Amino acid sequence: MTLREKDPVVVVGAGIVGVCCALYLLRDGHRVVLVDRGAPGEGTSFGNGSIITEEAVVPVQTPGVAWKVPGMLADPLGPLSIRWSYLPKLAPWLLHFIRASRPQRVEEVSIALARLLDGSLTAYKPLVEAAGIAGMIRRSGWVSVYETESGFKSYEPMLELQRRRGVNFEVLPAEELRQLEPSLAPIFCRGVFYPDVAHTVDNFRFVQELAAAFVRLGGTIRQQSVTGFQQDENGVSAVITQSDRVACSGVVIAAGAWSGPLAAMLGSRLPLDTERGYHLTLPHAGADLRLPVYSTERGFVCTPLENGLRIAGTVELGGLEAEPNWQRAEVLYRNANRWFPGLDRREESRWMGYRPSMPDSVPVIGASPRHRNAVFAFGHGHCGLSLAARTGDLVAALIADRDPGIDMTPYRPDRF
Cα–Cα distance for residue pair 402/215, rounded to 1 Å: 25
| 8 A C-beta contact, residue 149 and residue 187 | no
Find the helix packing angle between 16-27 and 120-131, rounded to 10°: 70
**What is the pLDDT at residue 233?**
87
* Average pLDDT, consecutive stretches of 10 residues, N- to C-terminus, the chain (416 residues): 75 98 97 97 94 94 89 91 95 96 97 97 97 97 96 95 97 97 96 97 97 98 97 93 95 98 97 96 95 94 96 95 96 96 96 97 97 96 97 97 96 95
Cβ-count burial of 35 within 10 angstroms (0-12 exposed, 13-18 middle, 19+ buried)?
buried
State the CATH class of domain 61-101+139-198+272-357.
alpha beta
| DSSP secondary structure, 203-214, as one string | HHHHHHHHHHHH
β-bridge mates for residue 374, sequence order: 251
pLDDT at 3: 56
| Segments making up each domain of the chain, as ranges | 1-60+102-138+199-271+360-416, 61-101+139-198+272-357
For position 322, what pLDDT does the model report?
95
245-260 per-position pLDDT tens digit: 999 999 999 999 999 9
1-60+102-138+199-271+360-416 folds as FAD/NAD(P)-binding domain (3.50.50)
Mean pLDDT score across all residues of the chain: 95
Of 27, 41, 75, 5, which is closest to residue 212 (Cα–Cα)?
A: 41
Beta bridge partners of 303: 310
Contacts of 122 (CB under 8 A, 6+ apart): none
Q: Is the dihedral of CA 283, 256, 140, 390 positive or negative?
A: negative
| Helices 203-216 and 120-131: angle between axes, nearest 10 degrees | 60
